[in-house]
């Protein structure tokens, strides 16, 4: 049975995956969206705290969140699964957006469940699945059902990345080098272990480096076929133990050595670089940056947050010290990415907005992540020369 949809200028939304308040990305999305007058919430689906995790750590904070939701938004359905939702729209009804921000391992099931409920658009928190093969299955389903999907790689719309690209285009014939760097601010092992055993369980490469790999795939023209070697930098890399014998990177630095592209002179300089360097550190601070260098020139750093944004971030952290710091750092970009998608839908435009990462770009990002995660393990086990060759595929 199809829900009767009123004639309205608001976009109907279902939030899927709230998680623990102040700790989970889904909660942060909800906080931003509930203050957006363009959006009308139909439901919030929370599989863990409304299901098997009713007594789990964080459940008291979530119960308080539910009380506030029922008081302020009494018409919003709170449920534990997509199966509890009604059919959200028929073929001729206005669009409905699902914002999916559950655990990565749960994302494919939640994605399929929302497609079954008839949504027209999905914002899928990155990386969207645990492997490229799983994400390709979701891309096929989206094509079959005509669902437009944006994947939550917010750095693609960030000012600091656009500034670095503009700088790079002015460096033709200078043989520039580029470093894509991402730092988090987990100050204690306890905080870090809590994260990597929960929301970040897919590992540093898939959970953290995937942001920079999305930039590489969509803005620097990097594909699996272009990578001819992965080089680990051991002095800048460190593993730590999760549950023996499982390990993950606390910090890692590596380079991708890249093959030339046929007809590359017609491409932007960013697509013609012979290599890209990546740096990621779970405890390196609350910032990301792109570093651009050319021989004989001073290094230029394009940073998130900017000095002006850093003042705002620190003020927000002082008001909400229990909230994960990187939520504040990336708040503007998430608003721009997700809000831009909502506006795109409200204006009746097809597909996804320009410049965002769609499922095609997200699949290539996960292909790179799958390959690099394996290559880094092999480099670490083999030792010198810390290089893992990638055979060229057809």
CATH code: domain of residue 118: 3.40.50
Q: Are residues 191 and 284 in the same domain?
A: yes
Contact 290, 174 (CB under 8 A): no
Closest CA to 383 of 280, 268, 237: 237
How far apart CA 26 and CA 334 sit, in angstroms, is 12
Query: Do 38 and 111 fall into the same domain?
Result: yes
Q: pLDDT tens digits for 5-60?
A: 333 589 999 999 999 999 999 999 999 999 999 999 999 999 999 999 999 999 99
Best CA proximity match to 126, nearest among 357, 285, 326 = 357
Under DSSP, is residue 258 helix (H, G, I), strand (E, B) or coil? strand
Q: What is the pLDDT of residues 137-164, one digit of tens each?
A: 999 999 999 999 999 999 999 999 999 9
Whole-number mean pLDDT of the chain? 93
Nearest by Cα to 388 from 237, 238, 233: 233
Pair (60, 207) in one structural domain:
no
Query: In degrees, to the nearest 5, what angle opens at C-alpha 235 toward C-alphas 233 and 241?
Result: 95
Domain holding 203, by residue range, is 155-325+359-389
Q: What token pair was written down for 254? A: 């590596």
Q: What is the pTM of this model?
A: 0.90
- The total number of structural domains in the chain stands at 2
* Same domain (yes/no): 119, 190: no
Tens-digit pLDDT profile for residues 158-206 = 999 999 999 998 898 788 999 999 999 898 888 888 888 877 788 999 9
Strand spans (E) along 282-386 = 288-293, 300-304, 357-358
Please count the other Cβ atoms lying within 10 Å of the Cβ belonging to residue 365. Answer: 30
Instruction: Note whether residue 136 is domain-resident.
Output: no
Q: Based on the fold, state whether residues 182 and 292 are members of the same structural domain.
A: yes
- The DSSP 8-state label assigned to residue 50 in this structure reads I
């Amino acid at each position: 049975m199809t829900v009767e949809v009123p004639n309205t200028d608001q976009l109907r939304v279902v939030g899927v995956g709230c998680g623990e308040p102040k700790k989970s990305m889904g909660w942060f999305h909800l906080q931003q969206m509930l203050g957006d007058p363009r959006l009308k919430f139909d439901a919030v689906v929370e599989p863990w705290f409304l299901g098997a995790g009713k007594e789990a750590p964080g459940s008291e904070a979530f119960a308080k969140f539910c009380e506030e939701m029922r008081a302020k938004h009494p018409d919003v359905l709170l449920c534990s699964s997509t199966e509890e939702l009604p059919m959200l729209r028929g073929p001729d009804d206005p669009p409905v957006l699902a914002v999916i921000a559950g655990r990565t391992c749960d994302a494919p099931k939640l994605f399929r469940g929302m497609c079954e409920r008839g949504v027209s658009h999905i914002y899928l928190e990155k990386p969207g699945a645990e492997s490229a093969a799983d994400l390709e299955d979701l891309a096929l389903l989206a094509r079959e059902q005509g669902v437009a999907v944006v994947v939550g790689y917010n750095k693609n719309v960030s000012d600091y990345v656009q500034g670095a690209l503009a700088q790079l285009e002015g460096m033709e014939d200078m043989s520039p080098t580029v470093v894509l760097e991402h730092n988090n601010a987990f100050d204690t092992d306890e905080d870090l272990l809590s994260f990597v055993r929960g929301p970040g369980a897919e590992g540093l490469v898939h959970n953290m480096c995937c942001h920079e790999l999305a930039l590489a795939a969509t803005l620097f023209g990097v594909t699996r076929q272009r990578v001819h070697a992965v080089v680990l930098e051991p002095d800048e890399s460190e593993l730590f133990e999760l549950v023996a014998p499982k390990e993950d990177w606390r910090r890692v630095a590596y380079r991708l050595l890249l093959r030339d592209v046929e007809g590359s002179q017609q491409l932007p300089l960013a697509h013609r670089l012979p290599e890209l360097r990546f740096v990621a550190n779970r405890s390196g601070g609350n910032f990301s940056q792109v570093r651009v260098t050319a021989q004989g020139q001073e290094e230029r750093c394009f940073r998130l947050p900017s000095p002006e944004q850093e003042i705002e971030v620190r003020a927000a952290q002082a008001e909400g010290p229990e909230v994960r710091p990187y939520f504040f750092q990336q708040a503007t970009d998430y608003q721009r990415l997700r809000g831009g998608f909502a506006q795109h839908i409200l204006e009746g435009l097809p597909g996804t907005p320009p410049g965002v990462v769609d499922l095609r770009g997200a699949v290539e990002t996960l292909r790179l992540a799958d390959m690099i995660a394996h290559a880094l393990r092999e480099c670490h086990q083999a030792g010198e020369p810390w290089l893992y060759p990638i055979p060229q595929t057809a």
